Amino acid sequence: MISLFKDPTLEQEYYRCYDKTLNEFGLPFESRFVPTTFGETHVLRFGEEGKKPLVLLHGMTMSSAMWYPNVKPFAQDRTVYAIDVMGDFGKSRPAAPLKSRQEAARWLLETLDALKLDKADLAGHSMGGFLALNFSLSCPERVSKLVLYAPAGSFHKINLKFFAKIFPALIFHSERLTDKAFIWLSGNKEPLEPAIRSLIVAAYRGAMPQLHVVPSVIPPEEFRGFAVPTLLVIGEKEVIYPAGKVAETAKSLIADLETRVIPGASHSLTMEHAGIVNEATLRFLRK
C-alpha cells in the first residue's frame, strides 16, 4: 500500500484527529474497509440498514469527516455511506493512484459492488462532485439521483487562483497558508470549525494526496441521452468559477436538472450553509 504521509507519527496524529472529528456527527456509525483493484476503500455507514442508500463523496483533502453537518438529517431518510476517496486524505489505503476518469469510475464501481449497492443516490462536493458526475455518466444505471455540491471542473474550468491558494499550503506544510486557503474558500471569510480544522491542518502538515485525476470540463457530447435526475447546488459567491455560467451550462446539458443557488455562500457551502443544503437535498431526494 502507498502511504500519503512522510512520517508514521504524523500519520497516527492524522488518524487521531479523524476519529475525534467523527464525534461531531452525533450518530453511531460503522467503519469498514472494502477491497478494490486500487486498494482498500474506507467507508463510514450511518443510519439504519435497509433504507435506500445515499453515497457521499467528499471534496479534495477533506475526507468523509466533512459531512458532519449533513449526515444526521440525511440518515433519517437514507442509509448513508460516506466514502473516503482513494488516494485523497482519509483512511482509504491506495495500492496505486487513480490516474484517469476511467480508473476513477472503475474504482467507485468496485466499491459499490463490494458494498452490494446495485443502485444508489449519489452526492459529492467539489472534487467529489466531479467524481460523482463522472461515475454517473459512465454507469447511469447504478445511480437513482445525483446531487452535485459546487462540483469541481465538470461544467467550467477552475479558476487558477484555486491552485495558487491550495498547493502552497500542501507543498510548504504551513498552518498559516492552510488557514488562508480555506478562508478564501469560505463565504463568510472565517476559519474552519475547530474539529475539522485540526484534521485538515494535520493532513496538510505531513502528507500529499496521491489522487492523480484532475477535475476537468466534461465534453458536451458525453451528456447525450443522460437521464439521471440531478440537483446542482452552488453558492452565489463561488470562487472557483462563475456560479451563473455554471448553472446555465449545466441546464443546457442535463435534461432533468434542478438548480439551487445559495445567497452569500461560496465553496464551503455544505458546512457553512448546512441547513439550506440539507433541506434542498432531502426535498429533491424525496420526490
Q: Which of 125, 156, 173, 267 is catalytic?
A: 267
Lowest-confidence region among 14-23, 94-103, 116-125, 165-174: 165-174
DSSP sequence for 16-37: HHHHHHGGGG-S-EEEEEEEET
pTM: 0.95
Q: In this predicted structure, what is the pLDDT of residue 30?
A: 97
Long-range Cβ pairs for the range 30-33 (8 Å, 24+): 31/91, 33/91, 33/92, 33/93
pLDDT of residue 106: 97
What confidence score (pLDDT) does residue 53 get?
Answer: 98
Instruction: Name, in order, each residue with C-beta under 8 angstroms of 262's C-beta and a sequence gap of 6 or more.
Output: 233, 234, 235, 236, 269, 273, 276, 277
Spatial CB neighbours of 89, under 8 Å, sequence gap ≥ 6: 4, 14, 61, 62, 63, 203, 207, 209
What architecture is domain 25-158+210-286?
3-Layer(aba) Sandwich (3.40)
Distances (CA, A) of 52 to 29, 30, 117, 158, 238: 17, 17, 10, 33, 31
pLDDT of the residue at 165? 78
Q: Is residue 135's pLDDT more than 80?
A: yes
For 149-163, b where at least 16 C-beta lie within 10 A, e where not — what string? bbbbbbbbebeeebe
What pLDDT was estimated at residue 149? 98
Q: Is 267 a catalytic residue?
A: yes
Q: How far apart are CA 47 and CA 167, in angstroms?
A: 36
**pLDDT tens-place string over residues 79-107:** 999 999 999 999 999 998 899 999 999 99
- Hey, how many other C-beta atoms are within 10 angstroms of the C-beta on 65? 25
